[in-house]
């Protein structure tokens, strides 16, 4: 972001706000495609940031949808059902009924996370005579997915209304170990080969590799290295079917900035404190705890590097936990200055304790390649949600 455009935005919009940049997003998707094996499809896990779903629908093959709310967002945005992967550990009967009743349900894919879900989907498909495409989620040893014998049981009972396309697998986010990925790929090759030998060809594997993002100044900056090595490993995957990667963080994080303003400053017992109008309710970085780590931040307007002082940057919540950064060296910090936090495009804005203290949720701005900025959400007062219905 050039200083000029930031100053223009600061004149037009109240802080705090998020700014998502579509050009950066596009470049990221292009980069992922360059590094990953040819023909690898991408599925955007929209939980990472629902506000990017429309833009990403035009850049990736699929959208992973995990709740009735996410599904309603995609419907409201009129995104193509052929991109929908209906996922999630809780698929309630009412949601499945609403979904399968639609004729375009046949264009979607549903994942199966348990035998209960399998029976629900089979029953609902039968009720409306709709043919459903399914991916069976293999568990990685958590509450998610099916055990291998359950997958075998499902595959051994072909049903005219259920088309089993293949396997889905996700074992965690922010994974920096290439060795672990290699182990998981070997396990998946073995599982897929055994299943195909018994039940015939499977068309696809949808894999969430949990590619990491280097959020902090002291990070080993492993993200690009992991990506390149993962690309090589995936290129050697011994599976003839289609490969789709389900990604959230690695696609979306880099396009986001969170902009918050210094509203007060003080020295308490020898420590410099700056209070900003945002806080931890808007800004969650994976791996951050009590501001022990320093994300990438810049000060606006920039000041000469002369004699920086260390500042503890604290948010607007009345809790001692609301510290965004400790001992951040800044030159001549003043009330009215603005701090820009980088890499806030994924999860930051949905994982915070947004209802605490009834403060407003920030405005959300989207910058298009033309430079035009659109507001995707105005500041939203959470007091509405915290006011009892008397």
Ligand X SMILES: Cc1ncc(COP(=O)(O)O)c(C=O)c1O
By CB under 6 A, name the binding residues for ligand X.
45, 48, 64, 87, 170, 173, 208, 210, 246-250
Q: CB-wise, 168 or 363, nearer to ligand X?
A: 168
CB-facing half-sphere around the CA of 337: CA atoms within 13 A:
19
Q: CB-wise, 210 or 278, nearer to ligand X?
A: 210
DSSP category for residue 82: G
Q: CB-wise, 48 or 330, nearer to ligand X?
A: 48
In a 3-state reduction of DSSP, which class is residue 324?
A: strand
Q: CB-wise, 15 or 87, nearer to ligand X?
A: 87
Question: What is the nearest approach in angstroms of ligand X to the Cβ of residue 249?
Answer: 4
Question: What is the nearest approach in angstroms of ligand X to the Cβ of residue 269?
Answer: 40
Question: d(Cα 56, Cα 60) in Å, to the nearest integer?
Answer: 6
Question: What is the nearest approach in angstroms of ligand X to the Cβ of residue 383?
Answer: 30
DSSP category for residue 103: G
**Cβ-proximal residues to 194 (8 Å cutoff; 6+ apart), any chain:** none
Question: What is the nearest approach in angstroms of ligand X to the Cβ of residue 173?
Answer: 3
Rg (CA), the chain: 23
Give the CB-nearest residue to ligand X.
248
Going by their DSSP bridges, the two strands 297-300 and 338-342 should be labelled as antiparallel
Per the omega criterion (within 30 degrees of 0), is the bond before 16 cis? yes
Q: CB-wise, 245 or 275, nearer to ligand X?
A: 245
Question: What is the nearest approach in angstroms of ligand X to the Cβ of residue 315?
Answer: 24
Alpha helices for the chain (secondary structure H) = 3-12, 22-35, 53-57, 68-76, 93-101, 115-128, 148-155, 178-199, 223-235, 249-252, 383-386
Question: What is the nearest approach in angstroms of ligand X to the Cβ of residue 276?
Answer: 27
Question: What is the nearest approach in angstroms of ligand X to the Cβ of residue 70?
Answer: 12
Q: CB-wise, 210 or 295, nearer to ligand X?
A: 210
Residue owning tokens 């990667």 = 245
Structure tokens at 16: 């705090």
What backbone torsions phi and psi does residue 304 show, to the nearest 5 degrees? -55, 150
Q: CB-wise, 16 or 208, nearer to ligand X?
A: 208
The DSSP annotation for 347-374 comes to: STTTSS-TTGGGPEEPEEEEE-TTS-EE
Q: CB-wise, 286 or 356, nearer to ligand X?
A: 286
Question: What is the nearest approach in angstroms of ligand X to the Cβ of residue 139?
Answer: 11
- Sign of torsion over alpha carbons 87, 37, 25, 285: positive
**C-alpha of 302 from chain center:** 31
């Amino acid at each position: 972001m050039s200083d000029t455009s930031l100053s223009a935005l600061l004149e037009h919009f109240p802080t705090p706000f998020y700014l998502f940049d579509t050009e950066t997003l596009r470049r990221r998707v292009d980069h992922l495609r360059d590094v990953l094996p040819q023909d690898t499809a991408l599925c955007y896990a929209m939980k990472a940031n629902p506000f990017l779903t429309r833009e990403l629908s035009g850049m990736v093959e699929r959208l992973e949808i995990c709740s009735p709310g996410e599904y309603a967002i995609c419907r409201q945005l009129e995104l193509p059902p052929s991109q929908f992967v209906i996922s999630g550990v809780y698929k309630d009967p009412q949601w499945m009924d609403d979904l399968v009743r639609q004729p375009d349900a046949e264009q979607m894919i549903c994942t199966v996370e348990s035998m209960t879900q399998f029976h629900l989907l089979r029953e609902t498909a039968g009720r409306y005579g709709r043919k459903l495409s399914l991916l069976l989620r293999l568990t990685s040893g958590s509450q998610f997915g099916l055990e291998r014998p359950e997958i075998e049981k499902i595959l051994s009972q072909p049903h005219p209304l259920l088309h089993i396309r293949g396997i889905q697998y996700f074992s965690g986010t922010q994974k920096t170990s290439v060795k672990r990925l290699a182990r998981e790929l070997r396990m998946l090759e073995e599982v897929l080969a055994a299943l195909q030998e018994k039940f015939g060809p499977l068309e696809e594997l949808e894999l969430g590799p949990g590619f990491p993002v280097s959020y902090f100044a002291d990070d080993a900056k492993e993200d690009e290295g992991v990506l390149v090595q993962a690309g090589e490993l995936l290129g050697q995957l011994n599976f003839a079917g289609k490969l789709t990667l389900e990604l959230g963080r690695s696609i979306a994080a880099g396009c986001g900035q969170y902009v918050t303003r210094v509203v007060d400053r003080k020295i308490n017992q020898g420590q410099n404190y700056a209070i900003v109008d945002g806080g931890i309710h808007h800004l969650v970085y994976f791996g951050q705890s009590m501001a022990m780590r320093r994300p990438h931040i810049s000060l606006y307007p920039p000041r000469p590097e002369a004699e920086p002082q260390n500042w503890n940057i604290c948010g607007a919540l009345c809790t001692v936990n609301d510290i965004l950064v400790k001992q951040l060296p800044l030159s001549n910090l003043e009330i009215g200055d603005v701090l820009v936090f980088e890499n806030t495009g994924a999860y930051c804005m949905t994982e915070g304790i947004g209802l605490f203290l009834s403060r407003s949720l920030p405005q959300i701005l989207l910058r298009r390649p033309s430079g035009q900025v659109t507001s995707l959400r105005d500041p939203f007062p959470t007091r509405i949600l915290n006011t009892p219905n008397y």
